[in-house]
């Protein structure tokens, strides 16, 4: 992969991927999340958490912080457990 694409190989045109013999989605995984959107959301939530801490709302702060945390859905938990099990089996 040419050096200009080394940190974000999924941005390389298909012709470059073919030359490098590295097709995104086949030889190298696709991005898990859109980085720009995930980064903005993370910064927003961190800002909200800091704002709660700075405002001195100690009585409600923990409840509000907990509401900002990502809720782990049962399907997500099952998926994580399945991945861990597959990883152990492949060793």
- Judge if 38 and 25 occupy the same domain: no
Nearest to 28 by CA among 43, 50, 61, 6: 6
pLDDT (0 to 100) of residue 30: 93
Establish if 59 belongs to a structural domain: yes
Residue range of the domain that includes 24: 1-31
Establish if 88 belongs to a structural domain: no
- Judge if 12 and 25 occupy the same domain: yes
Establish if 38 belongs to a structural domain: yes
pLDDT (0 to 100) of residue 17: 97
CA distance 14 to 75: 34
Establish if 20 belongs to a structural domain: yes
pLDDT (0 to 100) of residue 88: 62
Give the global pTM.
0.46
Consecutive 10-residue averages of pLDDT for the chain (91 residues): 94 97 96 89 87 65 68 55 61 55
- Judge if 44 and 16 occupy the same domain: no
What's the count of helices (H) and strands (E) in the chain, helices before strands?
4, 0
Please give the structure tokens belonging to residue 5.
């694409």
Residues 6+ apart with CB under 8 A from 12: 1, 2, 5, 20, 24
């Amino acid at each position: 992969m040419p050096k200009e694409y080394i940190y974000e190989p999924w941005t390389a045109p298909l012709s470059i991927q073919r030359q490098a013999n590295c097709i995104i989605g086949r030889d190298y995984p696709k991005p898990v999340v859109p980085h720009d959107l995930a980064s903005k959301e993370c910064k927003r939530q961190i800002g909200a958490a800091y704002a709660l801490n700075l405002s001195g709302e100690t009585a409600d702060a923990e409840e509000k912080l907990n509401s900002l945390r990502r809720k782990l859905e049962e399907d997500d938990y099952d998926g994580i457990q399945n991945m861990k099990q597959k990883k152990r089996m492949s060793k």
